[in-house]
Structure 1
Amino acid sequence: MRLLLAEDDAILADALSAKLQQAGFDVEVADNGAVAEYLLLRQAFDVAVLDIGLPMVDGLIVLRRVRAAKPEQPILLLTALCDLEHRVDGLNAGADDYLAKPFDFPELEARVRALLRRAKPTASAVVQLGKLRFDRDARRATIANEPVDFSPREWALLDLLLSQRDKVVTKEQIAQAWGADRADATRGEGGTGSIEVYIHRLRRKLEPSGLGIRTVRGLGYLLELPA
């Protein structure tokens, strides 16, 4: 998940960027409004965290311009101005949510994830790719009409790869899908629970379907569709 953090306080920006990356986000930092506007208008971000008090171009101006060009862009506004008038101004300018400083990081993360859930299209319950049929609601999968058994972690991993099938899935995202942190998901019980082991197992089970899982070195894994 790509996140733009527009914050001119270098210490705060570094701290938030580090924590957001630990939470599984790919973070781009802009230290002024001009850079934030340039990046948001020319690159794709899943969500933006935008401080109002940015130098060069005010955060509210950036917000209005980006909202006009990209109506669906999720944007959370940060500000030290917490009175009702400023909150209303921010929301009227197009912010999806509003968080006043100072704040605790867990609240910021929760609000960002809430924005992502609202912005994300509802996934289809049934996915048909190649010879694989994947039914989320029934928790049933078949390959060439033959049932295939997946362990809970294999199921969560496959569900994640299918829902992000045009994007690279990181190890942090896999750990989140498993409800573990990356160290636990990578280490596992005696090494048997590592992400690499589960990727290997899932590759073998998916072979008859025509689907593959490509390792993108240094980034993660990408579901490859049959030609």
Structure 2
Amino acid sequence: MDLYFVRHGKTEWNLEGKYQGGHGDSPLLPESLRDIGKLAGRLENVKIDHAYTSPLPRAKTTAETLLDDINRKIPLTVVDGLREFDLGIMEGQKFVKLEKEMPEIIHSFRFDPSTYDYERIKGESFEQVAERTNKAVQKIVDSSPADGAVLFVSHGAALVTCIQSLLGSKVADIRKDGGLSNTSLTHLRYENGQYKLVKWNETGYLDKKLSSTDTI
């Protein structure tokens, strides 16, 4: 089975360098609609059986726009387990502000998950996010055709945690391959009870130079 993971299109808060998290949200940028169209072209010849999306508007809008652009009848289901990290008091705040106020928290979140103090910011741990996202994905895999393909639309931090956990990475190694870019595509294959990475954070089809605010 082939699994395709998409990070949502770039939003206003992404551009402004703000944490959105599992409760915050902001609209997609106009340029994101173009990028989603490019992704649709990349997936044109992939026979997707079913698509699943986080309930947060930025992901759901990305999923709906993408399926419209692919222009095939692909069912879409909202799955709460695919929502972004609960980032507690960090949500809605700018990266640069928090880097000054709690540098160790931000460093751990981005580079060293094993030392992330989620209780301090009243949010979720990497372990909690891995558990809920993996549970959601596995339930879908178990109920899908073994020779099919499914699409997931979710969020940067949640997807990095989910995918690396599915691949067997320990919490300390979740960031080892870096982050995921807006409107990126990551491809896994599930066979013989194991997940294998085919392609991490594919963005070439976007045909543009990415900026620092595109990836988390």
TM-score per shorter chain, which class?
A: under 0.3
Higher RCO, 1 or 2 (CA under 8 Å, sep at least 6)? 2
Task: Give me the TM-score of the superposition, normalised by structure 2.
Answer: 0.28
Please state which structure has a larger fraction of its residues in strand.
1
